[in-house]
């Protein structure tokens, strides 16, 4: 990270299991900085990626780096699968970009929240702030079940943070934020 002029902020929460929110997600470079920040913090992570990335040879490398292939073309009950994976693990951190894409979206996918709530684990706001060249971990909390209040905390945290392409940053909101 230092070679590229970036620095890392924050600490790993005192929790063995966590969902790390990856936002804003606007560039392919986010992945490399994510890995660099995780390595700098000595945080072993898994991350979700579309299954088309996991082709032979490259797929083996991506899995070695913590990649979990996701088939976005059909419903696979991924939330339930990941809740089960957390329940069976003693220590696990999965990074999830709630926008689900580098393109601008009107809503975040709620899976990160449903997983954290279902597995009774904390959510951690991971970030890449390109203007400041800072990557790291910030706000960490247990989901309360009051989705509106929890999302408001997340919006406040990410308000000053800018991705590589701020003009395509997704809205920080869920389709249904009612509790």
Confidence of residue 102 (pLDDT cuts 50, 70, 90): low
How far, in Å, CA of 80 to CA of 171, rounded? 25
Q: How far is CA 157 from the centre of its chain?
A: 14
Q: How far is CA 17 from the centre of its chain?
A: 13
More confident residue, 175 or 136: 136
How far, in Å, CA of 172 to CA of 93, rounded? 22
| Whole-number pLDDT of residue 105 | 73
User: 46 in a domain, yes or no?
Assistant: yes
Average pLDDT, the chain: 90
User: 19 in a domain, yes or no?
Assistant: no
Q: How far is CA 112 from the centre of its chain?
A: 8
How far, in Å, CA of 140 to CA of 18, rounded? 9
Give the count of domains, the chain: 1
User: 20 in a domain, yes or no?
Assistant: no
Query: 44: which residues sit within 8 A by CB, 6+ positions away?
Result: 38, 66, 91, 93
Confidence of residue 179 (pLDDT cuts 50, 70, 90): low
Dihedral angle computed from the Cα positions of residues 107, 112, 114 and 119, in that order, rounded to the nearest 10 degrees: -170
User: 111 in a domain, yes or no?
Assistant: yes
Q: What stretch of H or E contains 93?
A: strand 92-96
User: 94 in a domain, yes or no?
Assistant: yes
pTM of the full predicted structure?
Answer: 0.89
User: 164 in a domain, yes or no?
Assistant: yes
User: 65 in a domain, yes or no?
Assistant: yes
Q: What values do phi and psi take at 156, rounded to 5?
A: -65, -40
More confident residue, 49 or 81: 81
- The residue range of the domain holding 159 is 2-6+26-131+144-168
Report whether pLDDT(166) > 70. yes
User: 21 in a domain, yes or no?
Assistant: no
Report whether pLDDT(100) > 80. no
Confidence of residue 41 (pLDDT cuts 50, 70, 90): very high
Report whether pLDDT(143) > 80. yes
């Amino acid at each position: 990270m230092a070679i590229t002029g970036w620095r890392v902020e924050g600490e790993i929460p005192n929790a063995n299991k966590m969902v790390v929110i990856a936002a804003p997600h606007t560039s392919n470079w986010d992945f490399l900085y994510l890995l660099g920040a995780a390595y700098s913090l000595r945080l072993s992570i898994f991350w979700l990626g579309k299954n088309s990335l996991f082709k032979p040879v490259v797929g083996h490398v991506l899995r070695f780096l913590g990649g979990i292939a996701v088939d976005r073309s059909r419903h696979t009950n991924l939330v339930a699968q990941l809740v089960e994976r957390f329940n069976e693990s003693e220590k696990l951190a999965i990074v999830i970009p709630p926008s689900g894409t580098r393109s601008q979206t009107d809503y975040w996918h709620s899976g990160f929240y449903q997983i954290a709530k279902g597995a009774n684990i904390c959510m951690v706001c991971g970030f890449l702030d390109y203007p400041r060249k800072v990557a790291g971990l910030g706000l960490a909390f247990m989901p309360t079940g009051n989705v509106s209040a929890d999302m408001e905390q997340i919006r406040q945290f990410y308000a000053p943070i800018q991705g590589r392409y701020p003009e395509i940053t997704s809205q920080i909101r869920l389709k249904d934020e009612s509790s």
